Amino acid sequence: LAENLTKVLYPNDNTMAGKELRLRQQYFFTRCSLADILRRFVDDNGSADWSKLPEKTFIHLNETHPALVIRELMRVLVDEKKLEWDAAWAITQKCFAYTCHTLLPEALEVWSVDLLGRLLPRHLEIIYRINEEFLDEVRERYGDDEMRIRNMSIISEFPDRSVRMAYLATVASSKVNGVAKLHSQLLREKVLPDFNE
């Protein structure tokens, strides 16, 4: 079973077993990478002053597949390192940049809330809190524009309740871009116009 995590990258996810394997795989790779990053940060700095993490660490999310690392960093900082939520979130947002590779909204990666809740319940709790606080900021700026709130929510309600990974990566990143200048422009205008605004 352990070998299945590393045997085939991007397993066929047309079945529930394939989806579950892909989610486990994404978590495994991002968790291991983050553990190594944080270990090296402490080794190189002689201490764990987490407020200095963004000065030494910048993680590029090349598409949404590694976006689970956002929730994992929050989990580590809050649950293991005992930072206050706001401090952990400020650090997290400074540590990430996201490159979106698609211009098709329907091609953006989503994960079922049911699957995430079953495999990574703490991560789902973190996503809900990130989303709640982000939507509070949207309401402060735009009022109770329900269509905008629904369009910008990290949690999609239709057709099934799911987590929009591109939205999570966008909200958590200090920089967002496409793969070229024109692509970035189309991303701003067509895929993420509310976020761009």
The helix or strand, by DSSP H or E, that contains position 65, with its residue range, turns out to be: none
Alpha helices in 11-108 (DSSP H): 16-45, 53-56, 68-75, 85-95
CB proximity list for 102: less than 8 A, separation 6 or greater:
108, 191
Report how far residue 178's alpha carbon sits from residue 187's, in angstroms, rounded to the nearest whole number.
7
pLDDT in tens, the chain (197 residues): 778 788 877 778 889 988 999 999 999 999 999 999 999 999 998 878 999 999 999 999 999 989 999 999 999 999 999 999 999 999 999 999 999 998 887 788 999 999 999 999 999 999 999 999 999 999 999 998 999 999 999 999 988 999 999 999 999 999 999 999 999 999 999 999 999 99
Identify the sign of the CA torsion 120, 125, 130, 135. Answer: positive
Report how far residue 44's alpha carbon sits from residue 114's, in angstroms, rounded to the nearest whole number.
40
Is the pTM above the cut of 0.75? yes
Report how far residue 166's alpha carbon sits from residue 147's, in angstroms, rounded to the nearest whole number.
19
